[in-house]
Structure 1
Amino acid sequence: MRMSPLPPLNALVAFEAAVRHMSFTRAASELNLSQSAVSRQIVHLEQFLGRALFVRKPRQLVLTQAGESYARHVHAMLEECVHATSEIMKSAAENELTIACTAGTAMYWLTPRLSQFRREHSHIKLRLIVRDDISTLSPFEFDLGLYYLKSGVMEGFDTMPLMSEEVFPVCSPDYLMACRARHGLAADEDLTPAMLACETLLVLEDAQSLWIAWPDWFRHHGVTARLSRNIVFNHYPALVEMAILGQGVLLGWRHVIDSLIDQGRLLQASPHSASQGGGHVLLTPQSRRENHATRLFKRWLTERTSLTMNAHHA
């Protein structure tokens, strides 16, 4: 239902200030407006109401009876608005942090690190939003985002590079052993991209079309593949689980998938990798105030990422 009649808010603010000071000039100073601007706002409000609110005398303002009654209601309403606004703003307190990321990043990269962050900074209240398509998120919903960007730039956000892109095929140890047997390879021989084109490929269906897909990976290595033996899914963690269960070969991202390789649950199926020049970045909405928790996590994550990258290249 439309709220009507609804007076202009700026005029109400000007009226309330003028009543408290009983002066257009002092009200204008408080509101950082000109005296004439405040006077126009009051006239506009009086025209809207069809009633005079002030009797204008030389060097003196006097409220009319209607003005006195209206002033009490307006002051109470604006006070209530101030209180409600203050309560909402408290929800974005200095020690609260909301992080947004994809399902794969959340499960295989971020959550293992969050436990360490919480041990070191137990006073920070964390909230995690999992959304694979960042375009469906409002910048006002989160403080920091961990997302892959092909160009490393996104309008409306400050970006900080975290991990450069390197994509390679992974599969379970049993599946890799069976692959080598099918292609007549010894236990320590590497599969070629052409050999992988004959295997069951686990394909991420991505509406954003940002990630390297299997056709891109094969083109990068000069292989023309029909890719008829595919299993397509729009949820990366589900594809990872299928790879672990030996149901096919998956494209894995260095750093994101490393923990599963370290555990031996997945192996690199081929030493051949590819990159489009993008990478995972830390996104900060330019429209959102950066609080203490955000600054702390950015510094902490940058230090941990730097250590991880240095260890990888050592």
Structure 2
Amino acid sequence: MKLPPLNTLRVFDAAARHQAFGKAAQELHVTHGAVSRQIKLLEQALGLTLFDRRNRAVYLTDAGHQLLDVTRAMFEQLHTGLAQLRRPATDAPLVLSCEPTIAMMWLIPRLPDFQRTHPGIQVHLYAAGGPVAFAAQGVDVALRRNDFEWDPALHAERVCDEWTGPVCRPGMPGGADAGDWFDAPALGSATRPRAWQQWAQASGRKAPRQTGPAYEHFYLSLQAAVAGLGVAIGSALMVQDALRDRRLAAPCGFVRDGSAYFLLSPRPCRDDPRAAAFLAWLRQQAANSLPEAAQAVEATGPVACATDQSVAS
């Protein structure tokens, strides 16, 4: 037997489930007339009456009920099969695009823990910032701060808030241990040009009097602070290890700057077991890191100007 057009079966399935041509039209984003024409084509192709049309309402006939059982099973199987085809292979590496500074200073030192807890998932890291061309670059997920507008069609999973604060080398002349970090040069970066202004607004305090050099990248300004060239705005996540190792001190603790980190993906993370596992691990690591950053602040010296909303309060 020659099969009727697939589209007529799709329209019938919607009309039969709703028992109304109008609701089927809304679901399929077509007109009421288009639904009615497709049903007539199907009835002509099958030589059967599928709906009784009475008083501006439609009712399934016995043949219509039988066909609904067929279409329901058919479309459920089709959806299941397509979902399986689209699901990435669980043994394929998870390709992660990550902003360079957080990748170098926070993520990479913690990736061995992910490999220990998820030995079957390999993470391939691609350092980049800003918009992501997922298909063109072969990227599965991207870790980004929401300092730019991304495609609203992307799926965005919040990881954690961003906390920032001044950081400098312990014991440097005019540094944190001397209690007058405010006189040290304020280091800037081209990738976060408003970091000092945002911190000042969030903390209710003023930036240092002396303006220091602006570096091309956020990472370079933090390295300059480690070298004792001045005081930089640091992310609590990114400077956590430097605080613990006493390479940096955070004299004022950290405050939320209003931004946050998100894991972006073209499809929901729950549909990819690798991405779902990485997201859960990422959130746990971030949750662990922020309290550790607060403890590191206490260990590196006095919190001379901690505010009520700082991590170190």
TM-score class, shorter: 0.5 to 0.7
User: Within 5 Å, which residues of 2 pair with 1:222-233?
Assistant: 222-223=205-206, 228-233=211-216
Alignment partner of 1:165: what SS? strand
Q: How does 1:109-258 map to 2 (within 5 A)?
A: 109-133=106-130, 136-140=131-135, 141-149=138-146, 155-173=152-170, 176-180=171-175, 188-191=177-180, 193=182, 195-196=183-184, 199=185, 201-206=186-191, 212-219=194-201, 221-223=204-206, 228-233=211-216, 235-258=217-240
Q: Distance in 1 between matches of 2:234 and 2:108?
A: 18
Residue 276 (structure 2) pairs with residue 276 (structure 1): no
Deviation at residue 167 of structure 1 after TM alignment: 1.0
Paired residue for 1:93? Answer: 89
| Shift, 1:274, TM fit | 4.0
SS in 1 for 2:257: coil
* Separation in 2, partners of 1:192, 1:241: 17
CA distance, structure 2, for counterparts of residue 227 and residue 31 of structure 1 = 73
Distance 2:120 2:167 in 1: 38
Equivalent-residue separation in structure 2 for 1:242 and 1:31 (angstroms): 67
The CA deviation string for residues 105-135 of structure 1, in whole angstroms up to 9 with x for no partner, is 10011111111111232221321121122xx
Partner residue of 2:103?
Answer: 106
Alignment match, 2:246: 264
Structure 2 distance, partners of 1:143, 1:113, is 20
Letter in 2 for 1:223: K
Q: CA 1:239–1:121 in structure 2 vs 1: closer, same or farther (change >3 Å)? A: same
Q: Which residue of 1 aligns with 2:19?
A: none
1:258: Cα distance to partner?
Answer: 0.4
Residues 4-153 of structure 1 correspond to what in structure 2 (within 5 A)? Answer: 23=2, 25=4, 28=6, 92-96=88-92, 97-133=94-130, 136-140=131-135, 141-149=138-146
| Structure with larger RCO (C-alpha < 8 A, sep 6+) | 1
Question: What SS is found at the alignment partner of 1:276?
Answer: strand
Alpha-carbon deviation of 1:212? 4.8
Larger Rg: 1
Task: Note closer, same or farther for the CA distance 1:312–1:153 as it changes in structure 2 (3 Å cut).
Answer: farther
The CA deviation string for residues 224-256 of structure 1, in whole angstroms up to 9 with x for no partner, is: 7775432331x2223332222222221101122
Counterpart Cα distance in 2 of 1:147 and 1:28? 42
* Cα distance in 2, alignment partners of residues 179 and 138 from structure 1: 45
Tell whether the 8 Å contact from 1:159 to 1:283 is kept in structure 2 after alignment: yes
Q: 3-state SS of the aligned residue for 1:159? A: strand
The reply on whether 1:307 has 2:288 as its aligned counterpart is yes
Structure 2 contact 165–253 (Cα < 8 Å) conserved: yes
How far 1:276 moved relative to its partner?
A: 2.8
Q: Distance in 2 between matches of 1:273 and 1:250?
A: 12
Q: How many residues align?
A: 224
Structure 2 counterpart of 1:106, which letter? Answer: A
> Contact 1:150 / 1:277 at 8 angstroms: preserved in 2?
no
Alpha-carbon distance in structure 2 between the residues aligned to 1:217 and 1:29: 57
Using a 3 Å threshold, how does the CA distance of structure 1 residues 202 and 313 change in structure 2: closer, same or farther? Answer: closer
Q: Distance in 2 between matches of 1:150 and 1:162?
A: 14
The share of aligned pairs that are identical, in percent, is 21
Gaps of 5+ in 2: 13-36, 39-84, 296-313
Q: What one-letter code is carried by the residue in structure 2 that aligns with 1:130?
A: A
Structure 1 pair 232/151, CA: closer, same or farther in 2 (3 Å)? closer
What TM-score, normalized to structure 1?
A: 0.57
Question: Runs of 5+ in structure 1 lacking a partner?
Answer: 1-20, 38-88, 181-186
| Paired residues of 1:171 and 1:249 also in contact (CA < 8 A) | yes
Q: CA deviation at 1:154?
A: 7.0
- Indicate the SS of the match to 1:277: strand
Separation in structure 2 between the aligned mates of residue 305 and residue 228 of structure 1, nearest angstrom: 32
How many Å apart are 1:31 and its aligned residue?
9.5
Which residue number in structure 2 is paired with residue 83 of structure 1?
none
- TM-score (structure 2 length as normaliser): 0.57
C-alpha spacing 1:152/1:162, structure 2 compared with 1 (3 Å): farther
What one-letter code is carried by the residue in structure 2 that aligns with 1:244? V
| CA–CA distance in structure 1, aligned partners of residues 91 and 8 of structure 2 | 32
